[in-house]
């Protein structure tokens, strides 16, 4: 019932689907930066979709379990192995007690989410097990994991137990989640955007720059946002805006003209103009941006953004049904 973090990598945190209901108190939503990836990894591990898993951000991570578990992961291109067995993304894998899971990378992308059967058993704070790094609460002692940390795991679900028995010999399931769900990192990604409420504070030339030029991801990007370098985005006129709500996906433009794509740990309010918003179905791609990556933006309508989400939800519903059949 324990997981030892033998090596913690660059930034490994406990995350679930995030903290909802406390934004009015200035508490970020947080959670896995790619909620869809954690959902899928949890389903593959026989968990509730909101179970707490691990978010890994580059480096070498080693995990050791003291009982049998199902592990599944989705995210950037990492090498994940148990001994000599490779564990590809989007597959359920059986890990025996005292085996070590080794993770290194990424070759492409930035982050990966690991669902572990039973889920990580840390206290629920403000309705979530996610780590709030700025507020130093939630997750494991309100901080990123360090070498040698030992975290508790909850009991394997009935589904996970069935899968452990079934995978006994082969160890890694032959079936998997679709590739674009389990490996969302793209070379030269294009993020689809809808207009922000301050779109009209920028002129046509700036709109053209945003939707046609390539931007470079800056090294001072983090879980709060991906900072971009490129042609300056100039406003028509300067005026002091009153702070109001921002959300993951919001692209805000500070006075230096360098856009920031906000991610899950972003503040709840902001005073910079909001030129556009990345659509929710493209958060998995945005969460894979790392320093040096090139990214472009393409305009879509809000109606399209909602249709994409609705379609993905239909596919997820089918996936849930399929998973249940494998674990019955």
Partner 1 sequence: MEITPLGDSALILRMGDQLQDASEQTVNQVLGAMHRIERAQLPGIIELAPAYTTLAVYFDPVRVIDGGADPGDVVDWLTKKLNDALGKSRRLRRDKSHVRAIEVPICCDTEFALDLEQVARHAKLSPTEVVDLYCAGTYCVGCIGFTPGFPYLLGLPQKLATPRRASPRKDVSAGSVAIGGEQTGIYPLRSPGGWNVIGRTPLQLFDPQNNPPALLNVGDRIRFRAITRDEFEAVKG
**Contact residues for partner 1 (CB under 8 A)?**
20-28, 125-126, 132, 134-138, 194-197, 239-247, 249-250, 267-269, 274, 277-280, 302-303, 305-307, 309-310, 313
135 vs 257 by CB, closer to partner 1? 135
Strands 2-8 vs 59-65: parallel, antiparallel or unpaired = antiparallel
188 vs 240 by CB, closer to partner 1? 240
| CB 187 to partner 1: min, Å | 25
68 vs 265 by CB, closer to partner 1? 265
User: Could you check whether the bond before residue 106 is cis, i.e. omega within 30 degrees of 0?
Assistant: yes
Q: 301 CB contacts (<8 Å, ≥6 apart)?
A: 194
| CB 253 to partner 1: min, Å | 15
| CB 212 to partner 1: min, Å | 21
150 vs 302 by CB, closer to partner 1? 302
24 vs 328 by CB, closer to partner 1? 24
| 309 in Cβ contact with 280 (< 8 Å) | yes
> Among candidates 210, 201, 197, which has minimal Cα distance to 260?
210
Which residues is 172 bridged to in the sheet?
93
| CB 105 to partner 1: min, Å | 30
Strands 294-299 vs 190-195: parallel, antiparallel or unpaired = parallel
| CB 287 to partner 1: min, Å | 15
- C-alpha 134/C-alpha 160 separation (Å) is 34
H-helix segments, the chain: 35-44, 158-167, 179-182, 204-212, 283-286, 302-326
């Amino acid at each position: 019932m324990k997981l030892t973090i033998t090596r913690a990598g660059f930034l490994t945190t406990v995350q679930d689907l995030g903290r909802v209901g406390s934004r009015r108190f200035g508490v970020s939503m947080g959670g896995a930066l790619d909620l869809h990836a954690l959902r899928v990894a949890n389903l593959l591990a026989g968990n509730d979709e909101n179970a707490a898993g691990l978010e890994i951000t580059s480096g070498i991570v080693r995990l050791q379990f003291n009982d049998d578990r199902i592990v599944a992961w989705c995210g950037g291109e990492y090498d994940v192995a148990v001994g000599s067995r490779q564990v590809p993304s989007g597959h359920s894998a059986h890990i025996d007690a005292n085996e070590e899971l080794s993770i290194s990378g990424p070759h492409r992308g930035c982050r990966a989410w690991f669902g572990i059967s039973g889920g990580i058993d840390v206290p629920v704070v403000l309705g979530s097990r996610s780590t709030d790094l700025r507020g130093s609460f939630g997750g494991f002692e309100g901080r990123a994991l360090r070498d040698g940390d030992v975290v508790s795991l909850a009991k394997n679900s009935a589904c996970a137990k069935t899968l452990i028995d079934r995978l006994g010999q082969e160890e890694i399931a032959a079936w998997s989640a679709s590739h674009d769900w389990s490996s969302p990192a793209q070379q030269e990604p294009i993020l689809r955007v809808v207009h922000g409420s301050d779109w009209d504070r920028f002129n046509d030339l700036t709109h053209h720059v945003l939707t046609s030029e390539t931007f470079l991801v800056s090294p001072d990007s983090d879980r709060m946002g991906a900072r971009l370098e490129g042609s300056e985005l100039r406003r028509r006129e300067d005026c002091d805006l009153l702070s109001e709500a921002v959300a993951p996906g919001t692209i805000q433009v500070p006075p230096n003209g360098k856009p920031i794509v906000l991610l899950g740990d972003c503040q709840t309010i902001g005073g910079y103009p909001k030129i556009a918003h990345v659509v929710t179905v493209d958060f998995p791609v945005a969460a894979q941006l790392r320093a040096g990556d090139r990214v472009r933006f393409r305009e879509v309508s809000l109606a399209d953004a909602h249709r994409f989400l609705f379609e993905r939800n239909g596919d997820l519903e089918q996936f849930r049904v399929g998973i249940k059949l494998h674990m019955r």
